[in-house]
């Protein structure tokens, strides 16, 4: 009993050390993201406030009146203050959930702009990434186990797909299924002649517009995951414990279950490491299809030099990626028994 108690205590300490290490890196990365999300947009050339003033002051011939409007808006957006003071104001406001006003879409607030697009991105990206990950790993495991013609067909296709950039897959699907076959619409999240509501017509329109962006993300995800899972499964199938298990007469189905469970662990880590790239590619797909998510919002903000909106959208995307990464790392810590032994030493 005493030995069991000490072993259990060592396991808990190992997990605690692993968890605290991940929390520390999460906080450090989040702070770095805050700083970069503030600085980088403000390094862009141009004066977005001057662009607003030029629109507001159209037809005005009084230069002092135009200057007064300019000063009013620089005060509103805080661009007349020193950079370090702007940063602390930005940090204080963000911690309160206040991202300020959008420069390009004034007088809309940044929160209002993001609110209208973030659900589209979450509803598109996370199901697509999960579905692509599951299908890719399943196909990779089958290729390693079945071999033969299935493997010879799957691998070249997976290599080709995994080397395509996100916009390349989006353009291919767009040309084939929208322009040539005309099965799906070319852009948007729903019909331009529709007003969002809960009618079947609107829901069907959303479903049809969803297909090409969704499958462009899924296909890109499948390629890389299938290659990784196939390699890990082949390695595990040739391991000594598999040969010994077969020698002992253990059923092949039982052995395969252990093989694919062990092969899946590195794939979970791979998902955590690549999820940022996946989300970035998905944002590009949103832009290609003019899907009303954060990708299109970021593009509009960049073109308009909208500092508050660029900072807010990139910060939210960064937090989403970091949170997903952190969640996967924590799950991996519980799934892989080697974590507790490594951290407990």
pLDDT in tens, 124-156: 888 888 898 889 888 888 888 888 888 888 888
Give me the residues of the chain with pLDDT under 50, please: 1-6, 344
CA distance 88 to 211: 43
CB-side neighbour CA atoms (13 Å) of 123: 14
Domain parsing of the chain, residue ranges: 2-110, 118-292
What distance, in Å, lies between the first and last C-alpha atoms of the chain?
22
User: What pLDDT, on the 0 to 100 scale, is given for residue 291?
Assistant: 87
User: What pLDDT, on the 0 to 100 scale, is given for residue 8?
Assistant: 53
User: What pLDDT, on the 0 to 100 scale, is given for residue 6?
Assistant: 46
pLDDT in tens, 243-292: 888 778 888 778 777 778 777 777 777 776 667 666 777 788 888 888 88
* Cα–Cα distance list, 144 to 154, 246, 258, 266 (Å): 10, 17, 14, 16
**Domain at 118-292: CATH architecture:** Orthogonal Bundle (1.10)
Are the CB atoms for 302 and 48 separated by under 8 Å?
A: no
**What's the pTM?**
0.76
Q: How many residues does the chain have?
A: 345
User: What pLDDT, on the 0 to 100 scale, is given for residue 142?
Assistant: 85
CA distance 301 to 105: 9
């Amino acid at each position: 009993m005493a030995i069991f108690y000490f072993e259990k205590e060592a396991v808990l300490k190992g997990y605690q050390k692993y968890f605290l290490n991940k929390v520390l890196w999460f906080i450090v990365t989040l702070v770095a993201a805050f700083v970069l999300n503030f600085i980088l947009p403000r390094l862009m050339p141009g004066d977005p406030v001057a662009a607003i003033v030029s629109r507001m002051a159209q037809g005005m011939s009084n230069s002092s009146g135009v200057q007064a409007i300019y000063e009013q808006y620089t005060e509103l957006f805080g661009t007349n203050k020193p950079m370090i003071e702007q940063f602390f104001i930005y940090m204080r406001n963000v911690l309160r959930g206040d991202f300020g006003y959008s420069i390009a879409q004034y007088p809309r607030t940044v929160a209002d702009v993001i609110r209208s697009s973030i659900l589209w991105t979450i509803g598109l990206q996370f199901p697509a990434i999960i579905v692509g990950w599951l299908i890719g790993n399943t196909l990779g495991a089958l290729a390693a186990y079945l071999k033969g013609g299935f493997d010879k067909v799957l691998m070249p296709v997976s290599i080709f797909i995994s080397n395509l950039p996100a916009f390349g897959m989006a353009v291919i699907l767009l040309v084939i299924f929208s322009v040539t076959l005309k099965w799906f619409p070319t852009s948007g999240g729903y019909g331009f002649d529709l007003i969002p509501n809960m009618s079947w017509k609107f829901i069907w329109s959303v479903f049809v517009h969803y297909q090409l962006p969704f499958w462009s993300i899924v296909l890109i995800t499948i390629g890389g995951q299938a290659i990784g899972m196939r390699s890990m499964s082949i390695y595990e199938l040739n391991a000594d414990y598999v040969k010994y298990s077969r020698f002992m007469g253990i059923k092949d189905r039982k052995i395969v279950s252990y093989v694919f469970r062990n092969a899946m662990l590195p794939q979970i880590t791979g998902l955590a490491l690549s999820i940022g790239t996946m989300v970035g590619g998905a944002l590009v797909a949103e832009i290609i299809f003019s899907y009303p998510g954060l990708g299109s919002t970021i593009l509009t903000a960049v073109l308009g030099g909208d500092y508050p909106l660029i900072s807010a959208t990139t910060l939210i995307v960064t937090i989403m990626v970091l949170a997903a990464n952190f969640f996967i790392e924590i799950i991996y810590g519980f799934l892989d028994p080697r974590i507790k032994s490594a951290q407990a030493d």
